[in-house]
Amino acid sequence: MPRPGFVLEVDRSTPPILTWHGEGFRLEKLPAGRSRVIYAPEPLEPLGDPDEEIRQALLNPLDCDPLPTLLFPGMRLTIAFDDISLPLPPMRRPDNRQRALEAVLDLAAAAGVDDVVLICALALHRRMTEAELRHAVGDRVYDAFAPSGRLLQHDAEDPNALVHLGVTDQGEDVEINKRAAESDLLVYVNINLVAMDGGHKSVATGLASYRSLRHHHNVRTMRHSRSFMDQDHSELHSSNWRMGRLIAASGVRVFQIETTLNNDAFPSQMGFLQKREWEWTARDRATYLATTRSLALAPPRTARSIFQAIKAPHSMTSVHAGEVEAVHRATTAMVYRQQLVPVEGQTDIAVFGLPHLCPYNVNSIMNPILVMCMGLGYLFNLYRGKPIVREGGVAILSHPTPWAFNPVHHPSYIDFFEEVLADTTDPVEIEKNYEERFATDEWYRHLYRTGHAYHGVHPFYMWYWGAHALEHLARVIIVAGSPRAVRRLGFSPASTLQDALEMASDVVGRDPTISHLHCPPIMIADVE
């Protein structure tokens, strides 16, 4: 029986706490008597036979007819699926998407459906490489569809491949992939890693255009999503739900397949990352030492390659299919079961060790903008109720924060960092003065459409992702990051956690209370 999440009150006997630091780790001693460490629940038991569970979900969907009854010869069937941003780290083969796609395609073949197109729901993310697509959908599916041009990647900038379905009662344009919208059935295959994923967001965001996305990917929405891991208090989700309902009302039939994973995120060789420090065995300690020492000696590029090669032993814990909202309610309950940790009240300081990976740097570099997004966008927002740190408090992030970018994946990020952040770090000013120019830049558009670049506007979204935290916090400090890059972000550099705590005392006093979110594995702090 997996143990639930746990909040450790730090005392003098508490060992140093493992803190992620990019492609490495640090052991940090937290002040006794006023610090706590929030640990994730242990991985839930996986489904015994995930392929059979998927088949059963398709045959017995929620609030919807069984999938075989929706399939008929001569129909247009489109199957969309999540892109490389999920899951994290990428999972070992077979990926949930492969399993679900194969099950749907088997049923389609049995029903005599010939016109089948697969679309990777990129939104404004980068196009995936062949190797990445093969990993996600499996070789069998890739070889059957890609050579004949029936495995597509959504292009949010192709006017001929988009259709405007209407405007919501809040004035939001709904413009999505034309093939998906004009199919007799749109099946969406999702991996719900966190509570933010899935539901109407799958189609309304994953298959949308910039014209549509800008209505919810903006500063106002992010500041009114508290948090976006809690759909009932997330303007991001409210907007997506309005759009999703409009999509359904306009005649697009969506059959949603959502899968969840347990948080078994790291292979057994790195088992210490899944454990609580006082439970480390001698072998765990030896592995930790060997790993950290060899990583310290490795050039950054090598260390990055080592971490990017990690394939998580995630296992499927549930699969639901059918009507979008019914499916997503069941999925979200499962995500919460795996990730919720009851936490009592807020503290003055939150410490977030940032890992090597976020949704936007798979096989890439965690550049400074992604560091901000990972810390203040994702980890800060891993809460339900209230943030773990009080308003006016301090966030301490731990990450090397190199002034380094992948120019193929993140071309507009470089300009955002060099031009925009050199001018201002205020999300509202950034949105007002710069967003449109970046969003419509011909070069970025070209690279997004033909290369493997994130859309020109994407770094703005990363910055907006942290807008709620920027408004909430009095100060952000990054431990052991490149001082120059950290200052460009508008944050304060500190050499050590102790220095950071000393610096934070200017804001929160000499004896602040501290929360350390021991993440990953992913969890959601359920703050009373």
- Interface residues with another protein (CB under 8 A)? 411, 414-415, 418-419, 441-443, 446
Question: In the complex with another protein, which residue's Cβ is closer, 453 or 524?
Answer: 453
Q: How far is the CB of 226 from another protein (least distance, A)?
A: 35
Of residues 111 and 414, the one with the C-beta less far from another protein: 414
Q: Which of 153, 191, 155 is nearest to 314 (CA)?
A: 191
Torsion sign, CA atoms 153, 194, 165, 97: positive
d(CA 257, CA 188): 6
3-state helix, strand, coil in the chain (%, to 5): 40, 20, 40
Alpha-carbon distance of 332 to 329, in angstroms, equals: 5
Q: How many CB atoms lie within 10 A of CB 514?
A: 26
Choose between 139 and 418: whose C-beta lies nearer to another protein: 418
Nearer to another protein, 167 or 414 (CB): 414
Q: Which is nearer to another protein, 4 or 407 (CB)?
A: 407
What gap in Å lies between CA 198 and CA 254, rounded to an integer? 13
Of 25 and 434, the one with the shorter C-beta distance to another protein is: 434
How are strands ordered across the β-sheet holding 347-353? 6-9, 35-39, 514-518, 347-353, 389-398, 475-479, 492-494
Phi, psi of 37 (to 5 degrees): -120, 130
- Closest approach of another protein to the CB of residue 225, in Å: 31
End-to-end CA distance of the chain: 26
The three-class DSSP label of residue 1 is coil
Minimum gap (Å) between residue 453 Cβ and another protein: 11
For the bound state, the minimum distance from the C-beta of residue 485 to another protein, rounded and expressed in Å, comes to 13
User: Considering beta carbons, is residue 270 or 414 the nearer one to another protein?
Assistant: 414
Q: Give the separation between CA 140 and CA 230, rounded to whole angstroms.
A: 37
Minimum CB separation of residue 492 from another protein in Å reads: 18
CB of 413 to another protein, least distance (A): 11
Cβ 418 to another protein, closest distance in Å? 5
Tell the smallest beta-carbon distance from residue 399 to another protein (Å).
22
Q: Which is nearer to another protein, 421 or 473 (CB)?
A: 421
| Distance separating alpha carbons of residues 486 and 479, to the nearest angstrom | 9
In 3D space, the residue among 153, 8, 185, 176 whose CA is nearest the CA of residue 82 turns out to be: 153
Contact 73, 115 (CB under 8 A): no
Coil/strand/helix, residue 203: helix
> Please, which residue, 352 or 417, has the CB nearer to another protein?
417
Cβ 437 to another protein shortest distance, Å:
8
Residue 415 beta carbon to another protein: minimum distance, rounded to whole angstroms: 5
Q: Which is nearer to another protein, 405 or 463 (CB)?
A: 405
Q: Residue written as tokens 């189609």? A: 203
- Count of CB atoms situated within 10 Å of the CB of 386: 18
Start-end of H helices in 15-170: 50-59, 67-70, 96-110, 130-137, 139-145
